[in-house]
Structure 1
Amino acid sequence: MAIYHTAVKTFSRAKGQSAVAAAAYRGGLLLADLITGQQHDYRRRSGVVETFCLAPPDAPDWALVPGELWAVAEAAERRKDSTVAREFELSLPHELSDEQRAHLAFAIAEALVDRYQFAVQASIHSPGTPDGLNHHVHVLASTRRIGPEGFGEKTRELDGGASGKSQVQWVREMIAETTNAHLEAAGLAVTIDHRSLAEQARSAADRGDELQAAALTREPTKHLGKSATALARKGQESRLALENETIEASNQEQLDMLSHQAGRDTSPLASQTTGREWGSRASVPHLAPGLEIRGVSGIRLAQVIGRHREGTEAEEPISLTERITQALRDLQDIARVRADLSLHRIRAGLEWARDALADVGETVAIRQWLTKAVLQVRALRNAVIGRSMRLLALGRAQRLHHIAQQEWERFNSDYPLGSACYSRPEWIRRRERRLSVLEQRTKELEKARLRGSDGALAEVDADVVRRASELESLASPGELLPQQQELTHIEEQQVLPTAKPKPPALH
């Protein structure tokens, strides 16, 4: 089940930290700090899936090159205790594919750049935990806004106080909404919630669901930290891991007791294999609808509260109002990427339909128009985002090919045939393995170049323009409803002929 995690931190010279070092480590790059003269080489670190830079449209070209971006960002800070970078660390749902997670990371980074006008480097990391679920991205941002002339004023609204809290709240909400939108687009029923457990518990209590409210008021587990996490990866126990197991067991006992009091029987959980994983869903068949047991926190309530069990009743269909909200959100995503497209007419039509649903209710004409409009908006969004994904895939393929080529050249130069490091069979095996990886990366790069060529992108652009034109030419729902009302009004006002009785016939 997808979980929500977002953390914001800063890097300060007062603590001996460097933006160049942070960027090199997170991106698996070789970067040089021009101030200290130190080189930070993390090209051999594993777990870095993809790294890309984003900046406002009017930013200089060097803002998209990590080696130049962070060198200039460090040089822009004069004080010895300056804050040199800010990081947004967030989890990516493991239910999504690598491409879908890259798309989600790009959308979140783009929203941050659009709001704060700074430059960022986003580095997607694969799970480093035994369960293989900890996909996440580090969005490293400059502390200054960037424009045509380079770095300018500081982003003081993020520094702290009441303003900082409100901005962090916006970031958390934006990440949750964007992630849920991408989960829905992938056809997944899971969602995440950025609110604290206390807020979710109050919401459940307001709905009258005491069991879920009690489950959400459980005792939280403790953060393991680097040392305890490293021990867990080696299969060794730690004091914090044991405490978390005790807390999780106590939470489960409390849930079982409340379930019995509420008349709901819960089966015992399966034995735990690690400190981060609870039993499977099959081991708790009698939990309340929407209740799942999984993750580091123990008990989690999926955002499907009130959903009936599978096999009992069909799920309620999404309302037209919800479809309109999603379509307007899709239009926002389209506008972020293609601000040149004219979508005012379709946006006005969706807003009119939303107001009409609130005023006059659902009609056949509105429902038919919305069904067609929502599908066309989603198709346009997929086409627009697909172009960006092709460019991201091309950059990723180029980077992976470069790494494979470097590994191939390094092996041939450092370990020539006959060197004493490896036996001949081992040397052949290692050399063939690197050659196989290089050949695979070469094929992937050729495919990505074909999909990201000027001709292929021109076809995508033409398809985007065509879909946008079809949307704008779509008849407005406001033009349909008045016609029906006018026809009904004319029929009501029309005077029907009256039948005159015939006189009796005389014989």
Structure 2
Amino acid sequence: MAIYHLSTKIISRSKGKSSIASSAYRSGEKLYNKRDGLIHDYTKRKDVIYKEIFKPINAPNWVLDREQLWNEVEQIEKSKNSQLAREIDIALPIELNEKERIELLRKYIIDNFSSKGMVADVVIHDKKDGNPHSHIMLTMRPFEENGEWGAKAKKEYILDKNGNKTYSKNGNAKSRKIETTNWNKKETLEHWREQWAIYANKALEKANRKERIDHRSYEDRGIDKLATRHEGPTVRAMEKKGIKTEIGDINRKIQEENKKIDIIENQIKLYEEMKELENERTKDNGARNRNIETEEGVNELTKGIGGLGDRDRLEVRKRTEELKKITRDKREQDRAAREELRKYNERIERRKMDLERQSNKEQEPNRRVKRNVRKIEKGLEL
């Protein structure tokens, strides 16, 4: 079953992170950090099946060297709380083969990141455990046309209606920070999320697969279910060994609640189908009345066959008997259908009453479960 997962986070110096260490870990390489003199060696990793760096047109060629790229980032970002890189984690469709996944990922990255001015350091991890995924590290600072690093933001002075600078009580000119790109905007992230669903679904269709993914939440799709948490390789490995995890426990509870919702929705669907049958029965009543009129017309017809020849009279009588039989069969079918529908309606009404009683009992506990799950989810967010 194809799943949708795309999450983002910022690799920030204020959280003790290093872009060099992050890239070395994800790429399975040995990288030297000039800033602190540390060597990060992850060459023993065996699950890196693909890695590539994508660059925008105006970026210099040295960005294709992983160690130099992230050392340049560490050097240009001076602040102790600098945002060094944006990481995007994506679950890749297990329905595609390795070549198809790489082709899908490359198209998505070129169209959404490198062509928009970002350098993308991309790897795919696959332990052959049913969880192929990609880590994409993106630069946060654009490049100028001359290949030099550009500014993340610029200062814009706040002017009055005459175009003059305005000043604070302390005599300082008022200004605001204007970001030079839209990469940090919520709308941009939503666009990336939507685009991944579009690109992945096109790849699935091209591979003649019927599975599809959707970037929207259950709530946005009008589905009354709770979304499970993305477990990731570490949690999956622990759960596989029989070690219970907090995320695993949350997902199990969510799955239990979703099963209850499925049962109720199926019963509602059945009830609606029975209502449709009842509507069809109403239509059939009208058809039955028309059948009676047809039979009366046939009887009138038989009264006027006296003037016909023997062969013609036999043919008319034969056809008349056929019409009468069809009418009788139709009435019998109508009676059987009405009786079956009556039984169905009785069962549905009984089941509906049972569900209403069950729903009243479970409604408050379900609300508490949803509230608790949301609290836990908020606590797990990075």
TM-score bucket (shorter structure): 0.5 to 0.7
Name the CA distance, whole Å, in 2 between partners of 1:54 and 1:243: 37
C-alpha spacing 1:85/1:45, structure 2 compared with 1 (3 Å) = same
Name the CA distance, whole Å, in 2 between partners of 1:110 and 1:100: 16
The CA deviation at 1:7 is 0.8
The CA deviation at 1:250 is 2.7
The residue correspondences of 1:61-76 to structure 2 (distance < 5 A) are: 61-76=61-76
Q: SS at the partner of 1:198?
A: coil
Name the CA distance, whole Å, in 2 between partners of 1:24 and 1:259: 49
What is the CA deviation profile of residues 473-498 of structure 1, one whole-angstrom value per residue up to 9, with x for unaligned ones? xxxxxxxxxxxxxxxxxxxxxxxxxx
What is the CA deviation profile of residues 245-290 of structure 1, one whole-angstrom value per residue up to 9, with x for unaligned ones? 233123212212321232189xxxxxxxxxxxxxxxxxxxxxxxxx
The CA deviation at 1:236 is 2.2
Give 2:257's match in structure 1, choosing from 233, 247, 250. 250
RMSD across aligned positions (CA):
2.4
Query: Does the 8 Å contact 1:158/1:168 carry over to 2?
Result: no
Residue aligning to 2:141: 144
TM-score, length basis structure 2: 0.59
Q: SS at the partner of 1:85?
A: strand
The CA deviation at 1:222 is 4.5
The CA deviation at 1:86 is 0.8
Name the CA distance, whole Å, in 1 between partners of 2:210 and 2:229: 29
The CA deviation at 1:179 is 1.3
Q: SS at the partner of 1:200?
A: coil
Name the CA distance, whole Å, in 2 between partners of 1:28 and 1:71: 17
Q: SS at the partner of 2:89?
A: strand
> How many equivalent pairs are there?
245
C-alpha spacing 1:114/1:120, structure 2 compared with 1 (3 Å) = closer
The CA deviation at 1:220 is 3.2
What is the CA deviation profile of residues 310-357 of structure 1, one whole-angstrom value per residue up to 9, with x for unaligned ones? xxxxxxxxxxxxxxxxxxxxxxxxxxxxxxxxxxxxxxxxxxxxxxxx
The residue correspondences of 1:179-198 to structure 2 (distance < 5 A) are: 179-198=200-219
Query: Does the 8 Å contact 2:8/2:88 carry over to 1?
Result: yes
Residue aligning to 1:28: 28
C-alpha spacing 1:133/1:179, structure 2 compared with 1 (3 Å) = same
Residue aligning to 1:241: 248
Name the CA distance, whole Å, in 2 between partners of 1:240 and 1:117: 36
Query: Does the 8 Å contact 1:90/1:138 carry over to 2?
Result: yes
C-alpha spacing 1:125/1:3, structure 2 compared with 1 (3 Å) = same
Name the CA distance, whole Å, in 1 between partners of 2:229 and 2:203: 30
Which has the larger displacement, 26-35 or 141-150?
141-150
Residue aligning to 2:344: none
TM-score, length basis structure 1: 0.45
Query: Does the 8 Å contact 1:219/1:251 carry over to 2?
Result: yes
C-alpha spacing 1:225/1:189, structure 2 compared with 1 (3 Å) = closer
Identity %: 30
C-alpha spacing 1:191/1:152, structure 2 compared with 1 (3 Å) = same
Q: Which runs of 5+ in 1 are unaligned?
A: 202-215, 266-507
Residue aligning to 1:232: 239
Name the CA distance, whole Å, in 2 between partners of 1:174 and 1:183: 14
C-alpha spacing 1:47/1:80, structure 2 compared with 1 (3 Å) = same
The CA deviation at 1:83 is 0.6
The CA deviation at 1:16 is 0.8
Query: Does the 8 Å contact 2:92/2:133 carry over to 1?
Result: yes
Residue aligning to 1:82: 82
Residue aligning to 1:108: 108
Residue aligning to 2:131: 134
What letter is aligned with 1:50?
Answer: Y
What is the CA deviation profile of residues 184-235 of structure 1, one whole-angstrom value per residue up to 9, with x for unaligned ones? 222222221111111111xxxxxxxxxxxxxx21133355578754531322
Residue aligning to 1:411: none
Name the CA distance, whole Å, in 1 between partners of 2:231 and 2:208: 33
Give 2:188's match in structure 1, choosing from 156, 161, 167. 167
Name the CA distance, whole Å, in 2 between partners of 1:247 and 1:191: 22
Residue aligning to 1:263: 270
Q: Do structure 1's residue 199 and structure 2's residue 220 form an aligned pair?
A: yes
Name the CA distance, whole Å, in 2 between partners of 1:151 and 1:70: 13
The 4+ residue runs of structure 1 with deviation greater than 6 A are none
C-alpha spacing 1:227/1:108, structure 2 compared with 1 (3 Å) = closer
Q: Which runs of 5+ in 2 are unaligned?
A: 154-178, 273-382
Residue aligning to 2:57: 57
What letter is aligned with 1:150?
Answer: E
Name the CA distance, whole Å, in 2 between partners of 1:169 and 1:239: 28
Name the CA distance, whole Å, in 1 between partners of 2:44 and 2:151: 36
Larger radius of gyration: 2
Query: Does the 8 Å contact 1:24/1:42 carry over to 2?
Result: yes
Name the CA distance, whole Å, in 1 between partners of 2:143 and 2:190: 23
Name the CA distance, whole Å, in 2 between partners of 1:228 and 1:190: 25
The CA deviation at 1:154 is 2.1
Name the CA distance, whole Å, in 2 between partners of 1:38 and 1:158: 33
Residue aligning to 1:441: none
Which has the larger displacement, 184-193 or 78-87?
184-193
The CA deviation at 1:60 is 1.3
The CA deviation at 1:11 is 0.8
